[in-house]
Amino acid sequence: MRELNVAVVGTGAVGQTFLQVLAERNFPVGKLKVLATSRSAGKTVRFKDRDYTVEETTPASFEGVDLALFAGGEASKLFAREATARGAVVIDNSSTFRLDPEVPLVVPEVNPQDVRWHKGIIANPNCSTIQMVVALKPLHDAARIKRVVVATYQAVSGAGQEAIEELRQQSRQVLEGEQEIRGSVFPYQIAFNCLPHIDVFLENGYTKEEMKMVYETQKIMGDPGIRVTATTVRVPVFNGHSEAVTVETERKLTAQEAREILRRAPGIVVVDDPQGKAYPLAVQASGRDEVFVGRIREDISVESGLNLWVVADNLRKGAATNAVQIAEVLLQEGLL
């Protein structure tokens, strides 16, 4: 397999996970560039058995690059188009291009075929959307989902490395009995607390994070008729997002049917033995690439409904692993 010149843009939590996943999956990296802001330039990062010096991102950074993985943030707006103009294929983890009708929004277990119509940029969906649609797709294929109600319990790693440090510091402060708990990442104390507020509030009362789940789900699933409502909550967990998902289908599925469908689906591990206290946990999903589904039961409030508990590592399947899987699909399709 031909080796590729790869650029990873960003050295935060997602950027570091990109490097880890590329190494673990033996992606055919030839030359590697690690790019970031001027503040991070000059630092070193490890990839496989070698240290790489972080370079400041400029348009010229993408000369000769085959694949550019953007970890997110402002860099995507500033440099993604510059990268494609120089011949690179961009897989972008920011929200910049997700709802652009000219840009595919891809989860390989759900809509891998959409990579075929990319025009230089492929968007990586929101972390909370990715794990949900992996679980929804096989149920949708079997019985067509009409409506989704989801409440998320999202780890602080989704807000970056500084958020991880803030939870760690605040937890120490609380346990040591300090009265004044300060933070800069979140508007309120996150340690031993839950914040029903991720991203900015919109005029309709939803947050931007919640509306991402609505629109991204419809785009990825290729069905704008699926109705979605979401409440997204930041919880004091370091890594791993959990979701309580209720789906209403056109054709009734029993809980056992749903379990069998999900067990056969790619990328899913069913952990569902409540009597044996077996159900998905964030601490067990952390470091893994699968989406874990459990607490599968029929919704007693509607005729054709199911309740699911869906858990995944938001830095891996919710970001870096999904992006690398997209790149692997591009290779398989001969598009890299």
Instruction: Determine the Cα–Cα distance for residues 132 and 311; give it in Å rounded to an integer.
Output: 9
Q: Is 194 one of the catalytic residues?
A: no
Cβ atoms within 10 A of the Cβ of 28, count?
A: 17
Half-sphere exposure (Cβ direction) of 257: Cα atoms closer than 13 Å: 15
- Rg (Cα) of the chain, in Å, rounded? 20
Instruction: Determine the Cα–Cα distance for residues 322 and 86; give it in Å rounded to an integer.
Output: 24
Instruction: Determine the Cα–Cα distance for residues 202 and 290; give it in Å rounded to an integer.
Output: 32
Token readout for 111 is: 């809509």
What is the maximal distance between C-alpha atoms in the chain? 60
Half-sphere exposure (Cβ direction) of 242: Cα atoms closer than 13 Å: 16
Instruction: Determine the Cα–Cα distance for residues 135 and 249; give it in Å rounded to an integer.
Output: 14
Catalytic residue among 127, 140, 194, 197: 127
- DSSP code at position 117: G
Q: How far from the centroid of its chain's Cα atoms is residue 111's Cα?
A: 15
Token readout for 135 is: 């679980």
Residue (of 141, 180, 149, 126) closest to 312 by Cα position: 126
Q: Active-site residues: which are they?
A: 127, 241
